[in-house]
Amino acid sequence: MLSKVLLETNGSNSAQNYYAYGLDLISQGPSGSSSRIYPLVDGLGNTRFLTNSSGSKTANFDYDPFGNIRSGSTSGSNYLFQGEQLDPESSLYFLRARYYDPSTGRFITKDPVKGVLSYPQTLSPYAYVGNNPINRSDPSGEAWFLYLLDAAGTTLDVVALQEDLSNCNWGGAALDVVSIGIPFVSIGAIKQVGRVAKVADEVLDTSKQFTKLSEGEIKMLQKGGENIHQIKGKGSSKYDLFKDKDGNIYQKPRDGQGPGEPTGLNIKDF
């Protein structure tokens, strides 16, 4: 789930504005106040109108494809283009991983996730949603093409996967895997992965051989200061710890089925 603003405070650290959400922002303003405002959005999440508690329109906004306001109000809310937060001082949109500049239609820093070698449209590290903002959005500010999978089902082949893996292009490999249909790697799981390394782990999971940690290895972890129950997480009695051929430790169901959840630990470090 993407981070969202729930509360704003003033210089005295007193609560000033509260934000309520459903699928999109529902309302914002002082709690229980008649001055709260309610945004009305279009299909891409752009705030088109603001209304007050009685339903009367208080502001309207019209955008060009890349988010520049062409006409309408210039105040009332900072959550405008595709429902994202505008910094009024810099005129940049905060898209979590990066800031987006609507005046150029580009991000001001590189995408932390590499593009797909077999899909050239993703290779520009600064371009916004492949230069197609009419049909796409990038609320995370990284790897917009992973979100595209839900709607487009981009078709890539095994050759593309081999090429991306050979070049350590984990973002591209993740896209290839979903397109090919390798089991256990879901679109939802990839979408929520924030870092490239974790994507790579999940992509390669199905080809790894796992071995349950021995009692001696469990004791090594404990001697190293690790809490076994905390590593297993909630419902620890249903899980055990396994290692892959490289020593990376995973939390998996006791029967060993499924791709498992990486713990970030390696038995070779103990």
Q: What percent of the chain has pLDDT over 70?
A: 76
Within a domain: 101: no
The overall average pLDDT reported for the chain is 80
pLDDT of residue 33: 78
Dist. CA 217–CA 223, nearest whole Å: 10
Q: Are residues 215 and 175 both part of a single domain?
A: no
Same domain (yes/no): 185, 235: no
Same domain membership, residue 197 and residue 251:
no
pLDDT at 14 over 80: yes
Q: 257: domain range?
A: 211-269
**Are 215 and 201 part of one and the same domain?**
no
Q: pLDDT tens digits for 227-265?
A: 888 888 877 788 899 998 889 999 888 888 777 788 889
pLDDT at position 181, please? 47
- Among residues of the chain, what percentage have pLDDT more than 90? 49
Rounded mean pLDDT, 175-191: 45
pLDDT at residue 183 greater than cutoff 80: no
Looking at the chain, the number of H-run helices and the number of E-run strands are 7, 15
Is residue 14 assigned to a domain?
Answer: yes
User: Domain total for the chain?
Assistant: 3
Q: What is the pLDDT of residue 108?
A: 97
**Does 114 map to a domain?**
no
Q: What is the per-residue pLDDT for 116?
A: 74
Average pLDDT over residues 165-172: 52
197: in domain = yes
Q: In Å, what is the CA distance from 122 to each residue of 126, 160, 200?
A: 10, 14, 18
